[in-house]
């Protein structure tokens, strides 16, 4: 049974970053909070999102493994912030994409949270760090982090353990889901298998349904 540690609990408001002469509205800039926060089915009070697709019931918590920070520090040649470098709510240790499964339910503080899908990084992370293809590199490396839904609301605080309390039988890891969703898009057999996972988040399920619906049928 795997377990992790919530090394930092992060929230933030919508702000603006500059990319050349452009201003980009984003909620990537989050900051650690030392006191307990109450997790609802839509996330943490005070944690803002620019678009509906960045939050909602299937994405109430964004998680990123601290173990990946060293890779990005080396690649970018910059010192990463100690937490929330990727706009995540939970900076964690011990919960890597290759080990965490879609549908895993973890207890953290008073809350229960369930893994729903890999995080799908967008161009704004590239703007933040000045690396145009950073979103693609995140997907290629499989260092995307992942999203969670709230199964039971409750107070959460940094430093608490994330203990696995249940796991589904399908065996699809976040890393495998990331491969199917972002890399091997022609692997329709795996796409169908992932689409059948009941706990998969709505946005990923809809993307897979569209992919599978567009498969040309063989002539009779």
CATH fold label, 3-213: M1 Pyruvate Kinase; Domain 3 (2.40.33)
Q: How confident is the model at residue 65 (pLDDT cuts 50, 70, 90)?
A: very high
Per-residue pLDDT tens over the stretch 180-192? 999 999 999 999 9
Give the Cα-Cα-Cα angle 197, 173, 119 (nearest 5 degrees): 85
| pLDDT value, residue 210 | 96
Find the mean pLDDT for residues 113-142: 82
Residue 219 pLDDT greater than 60, yes or no: no
76-80, 135-139, 210-214: which is most confident: 210-214
Residue 129 has pLDDT above 80, yes or no: no
The rounded distance, in Å, linking the Cα atoms of 20 and 128 is 11
At 220, the pLDDT band (50, 70, 90 cuts) reads very low
pLDDT value, residue 217: 62
In this model, does residue 193 exceed pLDDT 90? yes
Q: What are the structural domain ranges in the chain?
A: 3-213
Q: Helices in 98-157 by DSSP H: which ranges?
A: 123-129, 134-141
Q: Is the pLDDT of residue 71 over 60?
A: yes
Q: What is the mean pLDDT of residues 40-53?
A: 82
Say how far apart CA 21 and CA 23 lie, in whole Å: 7
What pLDDT score does 131 carry? 73
* pLDDT at residue 101, as a whole number: 99
Per-residue pLDDT, 13: 86
Phi then psi dihedrals of residue 61, to 5 deg: -135, 130
């Amino acid at each position: 049974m795997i377990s992790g540690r919530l090394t930092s609990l992060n929230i933030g408001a919508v702000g603006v970053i500059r990319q050349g002469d452009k201003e980009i509205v984003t909620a990537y800039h989050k900051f650690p909070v030392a006191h307990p926060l109450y997790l609802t089915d839509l996330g943490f009070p005070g944690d803002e999102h620019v678009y509906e697709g960045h939050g909602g019931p299937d994405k109430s918590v964004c998680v990123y493994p601290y173990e990946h920070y060293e890779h990005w520090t080396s690649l970018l040649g910059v010192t990463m912030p100690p937490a929330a470098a990727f706009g995540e709510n939970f900076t964690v240790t011990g919960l890597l994409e290759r080990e965490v499964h879609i549908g895993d339910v973890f207890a953290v503080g008073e809350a229960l949270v369930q893994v729903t899908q890999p995080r799908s990084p967008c161009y704004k992370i590239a703007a933040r760090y000045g690396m145009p293809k950073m979103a693609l590199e995140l997907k290629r490396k499989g260092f995307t982090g992942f999203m969670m839904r709230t199964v039971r609301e409750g107070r959460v605080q940094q430093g608490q353990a994330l203990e696995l309390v249940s796991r589904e039988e399908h065996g699809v890891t976040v890393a495998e889901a990331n491969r199917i969703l972002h890399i091997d898009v022609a692997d329709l057999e795996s796409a169908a298998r992932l689409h059948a996972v009941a706990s998969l988040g709505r946005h990923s399920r809809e993307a897979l349904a569209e992919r599978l619906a567009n498969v040309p049928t063989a002539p009779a």
